Each structure stands twice: as C-alpha cells, then as structure tokens.
A and B are shown apart, each in its own frame.
Chain A
Amino acid sequence: MTDTKTTTRQVNVTSKTSVTVLFAGDSGDGMQLTGTQFANTVAVYGSDLNTFPNFPSEIRAPAGTISGVSGFQMQFGSTAVYTPGAKFDVLIAMNAAALKSNIDKLHHGGIIITDTDGFDAKNLKLSGYGEGNSPLEDGSLQDYTLFEIPVVSLTRAALADTGLSVKNIDRCKNMFILGILYWLYSLPIDTTVKTLQTKFKNKADIAEANIKAVQAGYNFGDETDMFAQFGRFEVGPAAMKKGTYRRVTGNEAAAIGLAAASKKAGLKLFLGSYPITPATEILQALANMKKWGVKTFQAEDEIAGVLSSIGASYGGALAATSTSGPGLALKSEALGLAVIMELPLVVMNVQRGGPSTGLPTKPEQSDLFIAMYGRHGDAPMPVIAAYSPVDCFYAAYEAAKIAVEHMTPVICLTDGYLAFSSEPMLIPSPDSLLEVKPVFAKPRNEGDDPYLPYKRNQLGVREWAVPGTKGLEHRVGGLEKANETGNVSHDPLNHQLMTDLRMEKVARIADCIPLQTIDNGAEKGDLLVLGWGSTYGAIKIAVDRALKAGHSVAHAHLRYLNPFPKNLGEILRNYKKVLIPENNCGQLLLMIRDQFLIEPVAFNKVEGLPFNEMEIEAKITDIVKEL
C-alpha cells in the first residue's frame, strides 16, 4: 500500500503494536464520520480494531458545551484488539469542551491535537474553563505532547478557490484533521477519497472540497516542522485470518444474524418492534433488508411489537422483536403467551442502564434477571448472550436456531456497548453456518389420525402447524391446555404435567448446545474469571496479563445462561475461587450460587461504563494474593 503523497522529509517512524485514539468535538463537528473514516482505512490496511462512539445524550445540546461533546473512540493494533481501549494515546479535541471532558482519560504523555479556533473566548466560556483561562496557555497540558493547529483557518485557506460558501468550507474541517492523522499514522488517504466520491456522488463540488481538505491536512503533517520533528508512527497489520471482512456494529450484526438464520431455515423473517435506544438500529437495519424478504412492522408500542411477532410466528414466519429494558418489561405478559403457546420467537434485548429510563445511552448488564425470571407463572425461557460486536451475529443466529428447533421464545442479550461498538467481521461462508431446521406438521386428510397440536418429540418439542395447511386446524392460546389435544383444561394434574413439560423442554436444550470451554488459561487452577456478555474483552486482556505475571488464572465466558452448559458445574469446581465481574449488582453470581451452591467473588460496576482491563487485572491480583 503506497501513500497518495510520499513524504518529502526524512522523519522518524516509530512502530506501535496498538494505539487508542479519541476523536472529540461538538456534535456538529462530524466526529462520528471522521472516526468511521479512520476506522475503515485502518481496517483495509489490515490492523485489528474496535470502535466505540460516545454520543451526547441530548440531541440538541448547545454547541460548545460539555454536554454537546460527541466522541468516537477506537483502538487499532497489529495484535488482536478486544476493546476500544481504556485510555487514549491520542486525543483530537476540536474545541475546549471536548478537551475538558476527555483529558482525564488521556495517557500521561499522550498526544493532543487541538483546533485552536475552538478555543476562542466563547468556547472557553461555554466549556466552563472560563474566558481568558485557556488550557492551551496556562501550562496545565505540559505533561502531554500538544499540537495547536488553527484548523478552521487552514481549511478556509486550502479551500479558498473552491467557490463554496464559508459555511460549507468550515464543514470540511474534520477532513483536514483526518488528513493530519493519516499522515501521523503512515496511512493512505485513498479509502476515504473513494468513500467521499461515492457519498457525494451527486455533489461533485462537495466531494472535491472534502477530498482537498483531507489532502491539505495530510500535506500539513508532512510540511510542518512541529510534526516533522515529532515523527510518524506505524501500526502494522494484525495476523488476521485470511478472508474477506466487513466492519459491523453489534446492532448491525444482530440484524444480519436474524436475517441469515431465516434464509438458512427457509423462513421469512418478521420483526415487530418499537424504537428504543440502544436497540433501534436493529429495526432500522432490518427495514432495509426487504430484498431478503424481511418484513418489519414498527408497532404502536412494545406490546404490539412482540404480539405482532407472535401472530407472525403462528403464521409460520421466523419472528423476532428487538428492544431494551423498558420495552422488555412491557413485553413480559406476551412472552408468557409465547411460552404457553410454544411458538418460536427471538427477543433481542439490548441492555442499557436501568431501572426505568435510567441511562438510555449507557451500557449495563442488569436485565439478566428480567430475562430469566421476569414473567408471571412458571414461564421458562432460554437466555443467551453475545460477547462482542461480531458475536451479536452468531448469538442472534443461534437464538433463532434454538427458537425454531425447540419451539420456544428465546431472549438474546446484548448491550449498548456491543450495540454501538464495531469491529472487523470475517464474512462466513453460508455453508459454514449451522443448519436451522424447523419441523412443520404435515397436512392431514380425512381418515388420518386427528392432529394433536401438543404432541412432542423426544426433546419435548411440538410441531409447528401453520394456517393454510389442510387438516391441522387448531386453536391455541393463553389458557392452560390439555396435554396433546391442546383443548382448554383446568384439570389440576394436567396443569402440573404441562408446567413440568414446559420446564423440561427448556432444560433439555442443554443436550443440544456445546459444552462450556475455557477461553484462556489452564483447566484447573486457583482462580476462574467467569464472565458473560460485553465484559469479554476486558476480562480477556486482564487474564492474559495475569497469566503472563505467573498467576494461576483462567477465563471462561458464558454464551448460554439458561440452560447453562452441562459441564459448567464441573468447570467451576476445578478452581479454588471463581470471580464474576458484571455490570450489575451480581445477577449471574446469584444464578451460579443458586444452581451450583458455590460462593463466587463478586465484582460489580454500574457506572454506565464497561469494565476496563486494569480494574479487572487489579481485582485478580488482589484475590490471587490471598489464595
């Protein structure tokens, strides 16, 4: 890969194994686009990466204020990257507020690239530094490498001859910064050039201006003494598996996973849903998949969302509903109906901080209990969880497989962290995906045995009888039904039997799912770190470091939360202690203690932020010291 413009000066190039960058600016500054561009370039170059956007929680927060800061964080590396990084090496601050709200997470000695035009009197005032108190001038940044660049002015100069309005020119300032970053990390600008050409296909002048700005930024890096003296960096490609990749966020991956499962099963996908942060993109992505026969129904509320899906499922579609905590609460009654009707249904629940509206844009893992127990009556439902953005694809896919093959609603848990994070996904070949096999009841003719809607196979699973099929006319509903015939029954012993059968059916899914494996570390030892969901990356790195430090630790990560894999008890007993880090107050811990009668060590964090590897590493060190 060659640079579009080769450097004219001899500058030092330092090799790095991984770098974390935060692009921060006002929500109008285009930081998401800038970050995404940088991520795409890095991905095409072959480094591994993980990104995480940080939107302001208010849609129209006042420009220049702390609450208006929008950030895009990413880590990229020549080794496997599991998280968007805990602290940054580089902070791009387009204004004073962006600097103020993020400086505490910049590594000591890290690089700050600022747009000095975002540090005028007004910005200083709005950010809370106060007029005349510029952090760029008061020496408070002396522990960092500070690049002060008048980005707006330079962009205006570079684009002066484009004939565009000042307003349109100023919109290109983010591309100028992006150009500088490409130079700094020895990356080519051509991926971005191509994207800009497609994105502004019908606005050639805008495309050209943006491209000019990237190039100008790049040249600025190249020609400016301050950068030349500082040098450039290089992050090599990672040892990624060979193959074709795309970049996906967790929500995109979940949508693709559902659609892929429907294709593989030969079913049509139906999604009944209602918009809610951070799950909305699943509905949006599927609304764009009509080419694959996907039908989406934006219902009047979450209740109608799930019930329309139950109707579609009764009609023989692969039905799903997507939501987050408050919506899951509303769906609770309907999920009981799906349980007793024994119809397949996938519930994608993208967790956020609760209770109530809580922290809508912040991730948490606190819906495990509502997923497990949040229904009236004895209403067991399988629960599975995704551990990474890409894994949202596989988890959603598997949720659909379990739902269809076991005729049951399934809850698939992800969270706001996975939903918005992105990473490269090795595109699987269709053949490599597990089969999804629905079992439909066959048409009957006169003289055949009567159809028994609640007759089961050896796994306790009933057949799917789809309207339109001759001879299978039957009525199902929420009232308890007599075994096999499905007729309404209030018989006490029948209710006991049916309750037991529904419980057993879900329990026996354990016969069909893979055994639990150890992700990292030895099969026996002092400490097992047991995680589920989005804590994967942080635990992975922490355990890796603890192993390198010579500790006897291991990491196991749960995909199946109900039922647990059959060998989980055995695994847990192979370690002196079990540590369970969770972004909740100990929900998995209670389930583990309840089922295996062991006393794990809790590590809980509900700050609306994911764990970082340092926290977990420190906890591990504390525990092993005492063993």
Chain B
Amino acid sequence: MTDTLTTLTAKDFTSNQEPKWCAGCGDHAVLQQLKSAMADLNLKTEEVVVVSGIGCSSRLPYYVATYGVHGIHGRALPVASGLKAARPELNVWVATGDGDALSIGGNHYIHTIRRNPDLNVILLNNEIYGLTKGQYSPTSKIGQRTVTSPNGLIDYPINTIALTLGAGGTFVARVTDRDGKFMREIFKRGARHRGTSLIEIYQNCPIFNDNAFSAFTDRERKADTTLYVEHGQPLVFGKESDKGIRLDGFKPVVVNLNDASVSKNDLWIHDEGDFNKANILSRFFDNPNASEDFPPRPFGIFYVEDRFTYEDALTAQVEKAQENGEGTLEALLAGNSTWTIK
C-alpha cells in the first residue's frame, strides 16, 4: 500500500467538486483531516473508495478524488460491506450521519459492526437531521425543541459508543470536529486497524443545531467537561489537570489530585484492550448536559480488539474450497450425479 516515491498530499485527494456545505459546518474540517490522513497513510487515490448514505455528511465522497459511492439513505454500510467482501484489497471508508447510520440504517449498523469487515466508518453526529432541515435525530437531546419536537423531545437518545461496544465493535473512538490533528491521528489509527473502525465525530451544524457540543468545545469549559483518554495513561482532566478518575469497584469516582491523600497511582489507567472498562467509559454519557464536574465526556479511543474480519474469513473459506484448484465450468455444469443417454 505504501509507495514512497510518489507520496500524495491532501491536495491530491481533493476532487474538482466544490463542497456544498454551509459556511462553518463541521463537515469541512472533517473532510480536510480525512484527506490529510489519506495522504499520511500513503494511500493511492485509485485504491480508496469512500461510500456514504444520504444526508449533508453523506455528500463527502464527492469531494474526495478517489472512487466513491453516494448511496441511499441509511445503506452505506451494506454497500461498503459487499464491496469489501468482493474486493478485500480496496481501502474502504464510510461517511455517514447520525440519522443515516443510527435511525434508518440502525439495523445495518448493528450487523456490520458485529461482522467486523475492515471498514473505516466516520459517523458525523450533529444530533439533528441537517439535509432535511432540522428535525430531531436519534441522538438529539431529551427536551430539545426542533421543528418536529416543538414541545421538547421525548425520544430517549442513542449512546453511540455503548451501542457500538454492545454490537461487538472492535475499534471504537470519539472526537469532535474541532480536534484537528487529533482527529487525523485517530483516522490513521482506525485505518490501520483491521476490522470495522467506528469513529464518532461530534459535528457542529451551525444552521439547525448550533452549539450542540459547545460544552465540549468551548475553550472556557472544555477542560472540565472532557476527558481525553490515551492508552496506558491515567484518566486526568480539568483546567489544571487536577482532577482524576478512580475506579471504586465498578463505580468511577472523581478525585482531586490536589488532595494530599490522593496519589496519581490510584487513578484508572486507560487500557484500550479492556472491554469492561470501555463499557464503563461509554456510560460517561447519561447526563447529556455534562455538569462542570461529572461526568466528563470521554474522547479518543475507547476500545480496540483484534478479531478476524468478515472478508478475511470469507476469502479463507474460498481458498480452502479451492485447495485443489478452482472448479471448472465443466464440473459446475455436470454436478455430482449424472447419467448418460446413448
């Protein structure tokens, strides 16, 4: 996959189509980081396919100078799964929205995650339906007023990370559209992971759901409301990096690192391979309007697992069946049991 002689740049991954997203839309930043990540990964434009469904976010393939399929609403994952099964050597990305992936495509989402094809799934979650102009989505907040929830939303939201872990996800991560370089690194980690990489991106839609994530992106508040996790590092957050998280049995508790009785050694050390801890982390969510102190919203890679991919297992079965050579057309037509009329 690497070709050091003709290393491409983000510009080489830029198509001749002008992005049609609104000014200030988080999708722009994601597109930029994605193209940079592809260049960093030394990919060639002809070996990459970007597949999407329908929504603002799903327009993304048009703007990347690779192969691309802009499918139908909710169905990006089956298209990508079929493509990957048929052509395992291709580098396949999926761009999808919260409505696309989790509402109309919810069933495909669960089943794709469990099958674990080697896809890099970028889920642009703006907690709203952008393209259809502002209806609530399955990730919108309780009480949120939208054009279809004028009295406030009563539809309990999906916790994307918990759902993905529950469905058997093997690479589960979250970033915000403001994360820039960090996002790009996670894209690269996801791309190198063999299996389905789910990267949820909190994406601001300034037109229909502005500031949905400002609690996690505001310079002022961010440090206290977010928790950037890193493998092997203790869970520490806060403006002065003075807050930590300790596990009391299964219960996470916040501790003040200024407190003399607390040692950094007592803190929860993030382990990407620990499924149970990833599940606990994914539950740092149930208070959707994170208060100043707890729980902070985790970002980064929650969980990574090394598991066989669907297309590898399928290819292996085909190879096994062809151990003694591929079947001929004659043998196919003749079958196992014949008789001859003379």
Q: Tell me the complex Cα distance, A299–B52, Å.
A: 18
Chain A: residues with Cβ within 8 Å of the partner, total of 69
Query: Interface readout for B306-342 with A: 1 if CB under 8 Å, 0 if not?
Result: 0000000010011011100011011011110111111
Chain A positions 531-562 with a Cβ under 8 Å from a chain B Cβ: none
B62 close to A475 (CB less than 8 A): yes
Task: For B108, give its contact among A237, A290, A300 (CB under 8 Å).
Answer: A300
Interface assignment of B56: CB less than 8 Å from any CB of chain A = no
Query: Interface readout for A230-248 with B: 1 if CB under 8 Å, 0 if not?
Result: 0000000100111111111
Interface assignment of A315: CB less than 8 Å from any CB of chain B = yes
Please name all residues of chain B whose beta carbon is closer than 8 Å to the beta carbon of A586 when the two chains form the complex.
Answer: none
B82 close to A312 (CB less than 8 A): yes
Q: Tell me the complex Cα distance, A316–B85, Å.
A: 12
Query: Interface readout for A269-283 with B: 1 if CB under 8 Å, 0 if not?
Result: 010100000000000
Distance (Å) between the CB of A33 and the closest chain B CB?
Answer: 15
Q: Tell me the complex Cα distance, A145–B45, Å.
A: 78
Interface assignment of B72: CB less than 8 Å from any CB of chain A = yes
Taking CB as reference atom, which chain A residue is nearest B323?
A291
Interface assignment of A107: CB less than 8 Å from any CB of chain B = no
Interface assignment of B278: CB less than 8 Å from any CB of chain A = no
Interface assignment of B65: CB less than 8 Å from any CB of chain A = yes
Distance (Å) between the CB of B105 and the closest chain A CB?
Answer: 9
Interface assignment of A355: CB less than 8 Å from any CB of chain B = no
Taking CB as reference atom, which chain B residue is nearest A474?
B67
Please name all residues of chain B whose beta carbon is closer than 8 Å to the beta carbon of A300 when the two chains form the complex.
Answer: 107-108, 110-111
B71 close to A337 (CB less than 8 A): yes
Known contacts A290-B322, A311-B82, A430-B330; is-contact A245 B72 (Cβ 8 Å) = no
A467 close to B333 (CB less than 8 A): no
Interface assignment of B69: CB less than 8 Å from any CB of chain A = yes
B332 close to A289 (CB less than 8 A): yes
A290 close to B318 (CB less than 8 A): yes
Please name all residues of chain B whose beta carbon is closer than 8 Å to the beta carbon of A272 when the two chains form the complex.
Answer: 78, 82
Q: Tell me the complex Cα distance, A162–B90, Å.
A: 60
Task: For A315, give its contact among B46, B54, B90, B110 (CB under 8 Å).
Answer: B90
Distance (Å) between the CB of A566 and the closest chain B CB?
Answer: 31
Interface assignment of B66: CB less than 8 Å from any CB of chain A = yes
Q: Tell me the complex Cα distance, A279–B83, Å.
A: 23
Interface assignment of B267: CB less than 8 Å from any CB of chain A = no
Distance (Å) between the CB of A577 and the closest chain B CB?
Answer: 40
Distance (Å) between the CB of A54 and the closest chain B CB?
Answer: 23
Query: Interface readout for B62-100 with A: 1 if CB under 8 Å, 0 if not?
Result: 100111111110010111111111110110000000000
B67 close to A307 (CB less than 8 A): no
Distance (Å) between the CB of B223 and the closest chain A CB?
Answer: 40
A291 close to B67 (CB less than 8 A): no
B341 close to A243 (CB less than 8 A): yes
Q: Kindly name the residue among A270, A314, A337 whose own CB sees the greatest number of chain B CB atoms within 10 A.
A: A314
Please name all residues of chain B whose beta carbon is closer than 8 Å to the beta carbon of A297 when the two chains form the complex.
Answer: 81-82, 85
A304 close to B75 (CB less than 8 A): yes
- A146-154, A257-265, A365-373: which lies at the interface: A257-265
Please name all residues of chain A whose beta carbon is closer than 8 Å to the beta carbon of B62 when the two chains form the complex.
Answer: 475, 477, 488
Interface assignment of B15: CB less than 8 Å from any CB of chain A = yes
Interface assignment of A427: CB less than 8 Å from any CB of chain B = yes
A468 close to B333 (CB less than 8 A): no
A245 close to B340 (CB less than 8 A): yes
Distance (Å) between the CB of A48 and the closest chain B CB?
Answer: 10
A315 close to B318 (CB less than 8 A): no
Please name all residues of chain A whose beta carbon is closer than 8 Å to the beta carbon of B107 when the two chains form the complex.
Answer: 300-301, 304
B46 close to A468 (CB less than 8 A): yes
Q: Kindly name the residue among B82, B320, B327, B338 whose own CB sees the greatest number of chain A CB atoms within 10 A.
A: B82
Taking CB as reference atom, which chain A residue is nearest B67?
A467
Q: Tell me the complex Cα distance, A174–B49, Å.
A: 57
Taking CB as reference atom, which chain B residue is nearest A300?
B111
Taking CB as reference atom, which chain A residue is nearest B325?
A291
Interface assignment of A469: CB less than 8 Å from any CB of chain B = yes
Please name all residues of chain A whose beta carbon is closer than 8 Å to the beta carbon of B67 when the two chains form the complex.
Answer: 314, 467, 472-475
Please name all residues of chain A whose beta carbon is closer than 8 Å to the beta carbon of B4 when the two chains form the complex.
Answer: none
Interface assignment of B132: CB less than 8 Å from any CB of chain A = no
Known contacts A242-B341, A303-B75; is-contact A293 B326 (Cβ 8 Å) = yes
Looking at chain A's contact residues, the main secondary structure is mixed
B70 close to A244 (CB less than 8 A): no
B68 close to A427 (CB less than 8 A): no
Q: Tell me the complex Cα distance, A259–B108, Å.
A: 27
B71 close to A478 (CB less than 8 A): yes
Task: For B83, give its contact among A314, A473, A488 (CB under 8 Å).
Answer: A314
Interface assignment of B101: CB less than 8 Å from any CB of chain A = no
Interface assignment of A63: CB less than 8 Å from any CB of chain B = no
Known contacts A334-B72, A469-B46, A488-B17; is-contact A290 B85 (Cβ 8 Å) = no
Chain A positions 331-350 with a Cβ under 8 Å from a chain B Cβ: 333-334, 337, 341
A311 close to B89 (CB less than 8 A): no
Please name all residues of chain B whose beta carbon is closer than 8 Å to the beta carbon of A40 when the two chains form the complex.
Answer: 337
Interface assignment of A487: CB less than 8 Å from any CB of chain B = yes
Known contacts A317-B86, A467-B46; is-contact A46 B78 (Cβ 8 Å) = no
Taking CB as reference atom, which chain A residue is nearest B89?
A468
Interface assignment of B51: CB less than 8 Å from any CB of chain A = yes
Please name all residues of chain A whose beta carbon is closer than 8 Å to the beta carbon of B111 when the two chains form the complex.
Answer: 299-300, 304
Chain B positions 15-73 with a Cβ under 8 Å from a chain A Cβ: 15, 17, 45-49, 51-52, 54, 61-62, 65-72
A468 close to B47 (CB less than 8 A): yes
B86 close to A242 (CB less than 8 A): no
Task: For B81, give its contact among A243, A290, A308 (CB under 8 Å).
Answer: A308
Interface assignment of A509: CB less than 8 Å from any CB of chain B = no
A477 close to B329 (CB less than 8 A): no
Known contacts A311-B51, A311-B78, A311-B79; is-contact A476 B86 (Cβ 8 Å) = no
Please name all residues of chain B whose beta carbon is closer than 8 Å to the beta carbon of A334 when the two chains form the complex.
Answer: 72, 75
A259 close to B339 (CB less than 8 A): no
Interface assignment of A175: CB less than 8 Å from any CB of chain B = no
Chain A positions 463-487 with a Cβ under 8 Å from a chain B Cβ: 467-479, 487
B81 close to A430 (CB less than 8 A): no
Interface assignment of A44: CB less than 8 Å from any CB of chain B = yes
A-B contact pairs, 22 of them (CB 8 A): A44-B339, A237-B341, A246-B338, A256-B332, A263-B329, A268-B86, A290-B320, A290-B322, A292-B327, A293-B326, A300-B110, A304-B77, A311-B80, A314-B79, A467-B67, A468-B47, A469-B46, A472-B46, A473-B65, A477-B71, A479-B70, A488-B62
**5 A-B pairs with least C-beta separation:** A477-B70, A308-B82, A311-B82, A311-B83, A290-B321
Query: Using a CB–CB distance below 8 Å, which chain B residues touch chain A?
Result: 15, 17, 45-49, 51-52, 54, 61-62, 65-72, 75, 77-87, 89-90, 107-108, 110-111, 314, 317-318, 320-322, 326-327, 329-330, 332-335, 337-342
